[in-house]
Amino acid sequence: MKRRSFITKMGAGASVFLAGSGPIHGKTPFLPPYHYPNTNKFADVLSQKGEFMIRLEVLAMDKLEPQEVQLKLKLPKGISGKIKDYPFANKKAKIDPKNSNYGFMVGKAFPHVFAVWLQSPEPVTPFSFAFNGMVCEFRLAELLAAEELFFQHNGVKVTCNYLMDKEIGNLNPQKIGIAPQSGLFSLVILADPQGGDPVTPKAHPTRMKIHNAFIEDSVNRINDLTPKPAFSLVLGDIVDNQGERSHFEAMHAYLKNIQTPILYAVGNHETRYQAKFSPGYQMDEFNNYFSAQKELNGLEWLLYSFDLGDWHFIVWPDPLRSNFFETHPHYFDWLEQDLEQNKDKPTLFFQHVPTHPIGIDPLINYAESVAVKRMLLDRLATHGNVRFIFSGHVHIPIKASFKTAVSYRGMKMINLPAAGYRPRAFGEEEIHGGPSQGVLIFDINGKEGRPYFKTVTEEVYSFPDQLPDFAEAAYPLWLNYKWQLDAAEEIKNGNFAQGLSHWHPRFVYREDDHPSNRMEVKRFQSYQTLYLRSEKRKYHIPGQDRLPQTINHLCQAISLENHSGMLQFDYCLDKDSVKLQDAWTGGFVWLEGFQGSIKLLNMAYWLGKGYSQLSDRFSDSADVPLRHYHLPAPDERWRSTQLNWMQDYQALGLDLPGLDRLVVNLGTWHINDGNSPGFGVYFTNLKWIPDLDGSQVAGGKIRKMPDEALWRMNKYEPFVHIAGEHRYIMSTQNPKQ
């Protein structure tokens, strides 16, 4: 759509955007203070079923090596209930149900969590458990008074606290004005309006004014619908920034004008970035959200479900905060029960953060962990009643929304464009050349439903009845950690004669024209090779997340249980990458070492320039920093390399007892900004060979990576927000300046 037509259709919203004015509706209402009803009264802490819920978190304390734990955990004598365990980023426990024993390994960074439900409890009810021979006991009243109890023994720490469920509910829709429905009706979903008050301290006024204008237009599109939808749901990121009260008040002024009942879901901008959920059961971080939700519809919930017509609806919280689901394991139990009770009803599931792959860098680490995704999807797929999973968070363009929509175990998974936020830069022009902002309408006819998206400029795009099945086997890292990959005692298919067999790439979003990331098996100079190339996105317009792109890599796991060895391979740069100069781009061989599920080794060997924050936050530990080494870059010539990675690591004065798995990653990266060229490299003949005396390449030993050749976000380029973008500003391509 041409710019002139776009402005004409936007009308009032566009005038606000162009004029840069503040909130449209004048003075916003005052939201009364709210405090989650945490109490020291025993009866008030009990669940809605009258149970006392206990959470135990098991972590290693100081050692880098994983700690073996034998936990004996059973219900008190004469008390009925249940016990469940949740192995966040750890291997599953070996369970001896007859003796109530759980055996598992745990590290310092990722806990093994247990939840216990006690029926008919009393304040004097005793609770005891033992781990590694240490017996621990307390009465429920003691836990309530202390909020948290800690037990330490032989390098292992167990934290105990109570759980609550006052933020969980089953909604009677009529109580908030949703009329009973049968046959034909519709609902509307607004993902990521993310607006607010531009004059709030620390706000991003330019982008917020842009968001606010599109939000008003999205509201108008809802009010234009006939017949009126049964309800509208805001799918997280209601506000911008960190959940400040003033932003909720400003958004209330916009959203209250929707001519339907309105529901809220929690996203990652409804709380502080550094939100904490301890000691005890700490929910005060959500107080502003609760206040805004209660003012809008009377609810005080994070997690809830309801029925309407023949359908069941589940609203799942996704605050994307460190340790949230680890501190709320009972949410998964509630979900199991809710799905069981409604297994005969077609179900819609709403979550802010997508659980299906989107294929761009931020959505690898800026999403829920593998453990959380697996726990969630396994439960959702149990009964076959979940028809659709709708998500937001990405600010995805319409074209990319359609290209990434998939079916998984019968569930259609669709990520929605934003109602207010500008789209992320996926490297392609939008379908109609105009704005991506708008709303999704879901039309229901009995037990059938169809989604379509309507933009603020009134273009309509219907999703197909059939979506492609996601090839989980082709992309195992979607729902597995690297330590869960099959591992052999040697590199398999190291010459790529079998294509990518035995190698594991991530799902990478591919532009229709001029893809910015390429991964191909091809012939080059008489060799069968893996060719990797990364470059700046071609369709370069104001958008979001022009962050360094590191997603273009693949991996294979090597078992070290019976032997150690060195990695040998050949590599060659392509002709477009020979004159690298000072361009922020390069290739890498990234080695990650594990003992069980615990990551102990993290090393990168770089071609060209390096990126200091190459990481996987769901397995990395702050105690295991990434070490950097330099690989010489030949000019269109093949070079053979042997990496004695263990010797390189031990040269730092470090040791790795018990390492049982090495993951070999091959990849390329690009700054995705400025005018630097792309980087391409060929790899072949990867082998696992006996140890030699020192890491080396033809012409000399491998050296540590110079600091000036590493791109560091906090050293060279500030992280800023400009007109709706998360962006690193490139003032120069010269790292020495």
CATH of the domain at 148: 2.60.40
- What percent of the chain shows pLDDT beyond 70? 89
Q: What is the pLDDT of residue 713?
A: 65
Examine the domain organization and report whether 133 and 233 are in the same domain.
no
SS3 484: helix
- Average pLDDT score over residue span 641-658: 82
Q: What is the spatial distance between Cα 621 and Cα 599, in angstroms, rounded to a whole number? A: 7
Boundary of a domain, candidates 405, 440, 467:
467
Tokens, residue 528: 């069968």
Asked if the peptide bond before residue 227 counts as cis, ω within 30 degrees of 0, the response is: yes
Tokens, residue 10: 């936007």
Instruction: Work out the pLDDT band at 259, boundaries 50, 70, 90.
Output: very high
- What percent of the chain shows pLDDT beyond 90? 72
Task: Note the residue count of the chain.
Answer: 737
Q: What is the spatial distance between Cα 582 and Cα 580, in angstroms, rounded to a whole number? A: 6
pTM of the predicted structure, to 2 decimals: 0.93
In the block, which residue shows the tokens 């001519």? Answer: 259
Q: Which of 537, 555, 409 is nearest to 469 (CA)?
A: 409
The verdict on residue 36 lying in a domain is no
Asked if the peptide bond before residue 354 counts as cis, ω within 30 degrees of 0, the response is: no
Examine the domain organization and report whether 244 and 126 are in the same domain.
no
Mean pLDDT of the chain, nearest integer = 89
Q: What is the pLDDT of residue 4?
A: 28
Examine the domain organization and report whether 201 and 232 are in the same domain.
yes
Q: What is the spatial distance between Cα 292 and Cα 289, in angstroms, rounded to a whole number? A: 5
Position 541 pLDDT exceeds 70: no
The verdict on residue 689 lying in a domain is yes
Position 468 pLDDT exceeds 90: yes
Tell me which DSSP letter residue 676 carries: P
Report the number of distinct structural domains present in the chain.
3
Asked if the peptide bond before residue 123 counts as cis, ω within 30 degrees of 0, the response is: no
Examine the domain organization and report whether 345 and 420 are in the same domain.
yes
Tokens, residue 143: 């836990």
The verdict on residue 695 lying in a domain is yes
Instruction: Work out the pLDDT band at 637, boundaries 50, 70, 90.
Output: confident
Position 39 pLDDT exceeds 80: no
Q: What is the spatial distance between Cα 703 and Cα 627, in angstroms, rounded to a whole number? A: 11
Residues 6+ apart with CB under 8 A from 653: none
Position 346 pLDDT exceeds 70: yes
- CATH number at 260 reads 3.60.21.10
Boundary of a domain, candidates 412, 434, 467:
467
Instruction: Work out the pLDDT band at 25, boundaries 50, 70, 90.
Output: very low
Q: What is the spatial distance between Cα 593 and Cα 561, in angstroms, rounded to a whole number? A: 12
Residues 6+ apart with CB under 8 A from 50: 119, 120
Boundary of a domain, candidates 467, 501, 516:
467
CB 441 within 8 A of CB 185: no
The verdict on residue 172 lying in a domain is no
Q: What is the spatial distance between Cα 611 and Cα 586, in angstroms, rounded to a whole number? A: 8
Examine the domain organization and report whether 145 and 261 are in the same domain.
no
Position 105 pLDDT exceeds 90: yes
The verdict on residue 34 lying in a domain is no
Q: What is the spatial distance between Cα 176 and Cα 79, in angstroms, rounded to a whole number? A: 39
SS3 483: helix
Examine the domain organization and report whether 85 and 190 are in the same domain.
no
The verdict on residue 169 lying in a domain is no
The verdict on residue 490 lying in a domain is yes
Q: Which residues pair with residue 71 across a beta bridge?
A: 102, 131
Examine the domain organization and report whether 572 and 638 are in the same domain.
yes
Examine the domain organization and report whether 48 and 130 are in the same domain.
yes
What are the two backbone dihedrals, phi and then psi, of residue 375, each rounded to the nearest 5 degrees? -55, -45
Among the residue ranges 33-37, 51-55, 376-380, the one predicted with the least confidence is 33-37
SS3 181: coil
pLDDT digits (tens, 9 = 90+) for 305-343: 999 999 999 999 999 998 999 999 999 999 999 999 999
Q: What is the spatial distance between Cα 404 and Cα 463, in angstroms, rounded to a whole number? A: 11
pLDDT digits (tens, 9 = 90+) for 583-600: 889 999 999 999 999 998
Q: Which residues pair with residue 522 across a beta bridge?
A: 529
In the block, which residue shows the tokens 């006819």? Answer: 445
CA torsion through residues 705, 709, 711, 716, sign: positive
Task: Output 27 or 447, whichever has higher pLDDT.
Answer: 447
Q: What is the pLDDT of residue 542?
A: 61
Q: What is the pLDDT of residue 729?
A: 45
Longest Cα–Cα distance of the chain, Å, equals 78
Q: Which amino acid is at 129?
A: F
Q: What is the pLDDT of residue 693?
A: 57
Examine the domain organization and report whether 437 and 349 are in the same domain.
yes
Examine the domain organization and report whether 391 and 448 are in the same domain.
yes
Q: Are strands 517-524 and 527-534 parallel, antiparallel or unpaired?
A: antiparallel
Tokens, residue 737: 């300046």
Position 501 pLDDT exceeds 60: yes
- Average pLDDT score over residue span 242-256: 95
Q: What is the pLDDT of residue 37?
A: 85
Examine the domain organization and report whether 287 and 401 are in the same domain.
yes
Q: What is the pLDDT of residue 692?
A: 61
Task: Output 298 or 696, whichever has higher pLDDT.
Answer: 298
Examine the domain organization and report whether 430 and 570 are in the same domain.
no
- Average pLDDT score over residue span 34-48: 89
Position 653 pLDDT exceeds 50: yes
Q: What is the pLDDT of residue 26?
A: 47
The verdict on residue 453 lying in a domain is yes
Q: Count Cβ atoms below 10 Å from residue 142 Cβ, excluding itself.
A: 15
Q: What is the spatial distance between Cα 193 and Cα 252, in angstroms, rounded to a whole number? A: 12
Tokens, residue 706: 């110079």
Position 146 pLDDT exceeds 90: yes
Tokens, residue 193: 């309006």
What are the two backbone dihedrals, phi and then psi, of residue 552, each rounded to the nearest 5 degrees? -80, 70
Instruction: Work out the pLDDT band at 35, boundaries 50, 70, 90.
Output: very high
What is the extent of the structural domain holding 263? 184-467
